Amino acid sequence: MDLSVVIVNYQTFELTKNTINSIFENNYSFDYEILVVDNASKDDSLSRLKEYFGNKVYFIASKDNNGFAAGNNQALRVAKGRHVLLLNSDTVVWENTLESIYNYMENHTDVGACGCRVLLENGELDKACKRSFPNVKNSFFRLFHIPTNSEDNDYNLDNLPDDEIYEIDCLTGAFMFMRSDALKEVGLLDETFFMYGEDIDLCFRIKKAGWKIIYYGQSKLTHLKGASSKKQKSKLIYEFYRAMYIYYKKHHADESFFVVNWVVYFGIAILCVLKLFLNSFKKKD
């Protein structure tokens, strides 16, 4: 098997169906399988997906929703492909995207993971598709919306072109095309992350192991990102800042002075509380 495509579904029948169909609509020079993990959906999306796709898709039903990382890992443990693609259930794969990136990976054996140009529904770039690793300095500029002209502090790599191919630090979990050998070397997604942060953590481990991470800006994906409401669920806000804490503690705390660590932890907590407070005043659309 050349490629295993892994998709996690949670109560998104139409979105997941459209994502899978965007893959089936194209022909490929390689063989592939699609694995869908249902993260204990409380609706009938799993049964409807099974009825719609039949045996063309391999389904895994989780008994519990233990998060995005845990859901993906269930499929990764049984995936047969030499390459694996983590793909969000709210995406649309463009024609030739999988073919182009597959061929690139085949021709560049030092690449452990590759991403594409991810576009939002309005056509703008999803900046999460090409990033630097977060650190104390660039995270400070980003979280407090402080502009910087320094390339060293450019977390979103706005200074680099969107339509070219080059090495970066971090991809988005919405589309991560990875070499199975690299994944076997560094391990699966860290299930300590419920959602958010697991993609950054995995990229950090892949690159630390000596593999390259490539942004392939000549191929595209549409990401229907964001909720239909301006008001976010408190759980999502909490998990976002919790992921920041986990990532920093895992990869940076041991090399930083303890005073710096406590300042970072305190800052994350304050930002989380502030965000939750402000979110409580927003109205649903």
Q: Taking a C-beta distance cutoff of 8 angstroms, is the pair 276, 234 a contact?
A: yes
Is the predicted pLDDT of residue 75 greater than 90, yes or no?
A: yes
Averaged pLDDT, 96-114:
98
Q: In the numeric block, which tokens belong to residue 20?
A: 């899978």
Question: How far is the CA of 274 from the CAs of 5, 21, 210, 265, 278, in angstroms?
Answer: 38, 41, 39, 14, 6
Contacts with 76 (C-beta within 8 Å, 6 or more apart), sequence order: 6, 84, 183, 188, 189
Give the count of alpha carbons within 13 A of 239, CB side only: 17
User: How far apart, in Å, are the Cα atoms of 26 and each of 20, 69, 79, 119, 270?
Assistant: 11, 28, 21, 19, 48
Radius of gyration over every alpha carbon of the chain, rounded to an integer in angstroms: 19
Nearest to 113 by CA among 181, 33, 65: 181
Please give the angle made by the CA atoms of 235, 254 and 143, to the nearest 5 degrees: 40
Lowest mean pLDDT among 46-55, 124-133, 180-189, 208-217: 124-133
> What does the pLDDT read at residue 228?
32
Q: Would you state the pLDDT for residue 265?
A: 77
| Alpha-carbon span 126 to 202, nearest angstrom | 19
What's the residue count for the chain? 285
* Percent residues over pLDDT 90 in the chain: 66
Whether the pLDDT of residue 207 is over 80: the answer is yes
Question: To the nearest whole number, what is the mean pLDDT of the chain?
Answer: 88
User: Is it the case that residue 229 has pLDDT exceeding 50?
Assistant: no
Confidence of residue 136 (pLDDT cuts 50, 70, 90): low
In angstroms, the Cα distances linking 161 to 97, 113, 166, 216 are: 18, 19, 9, 11
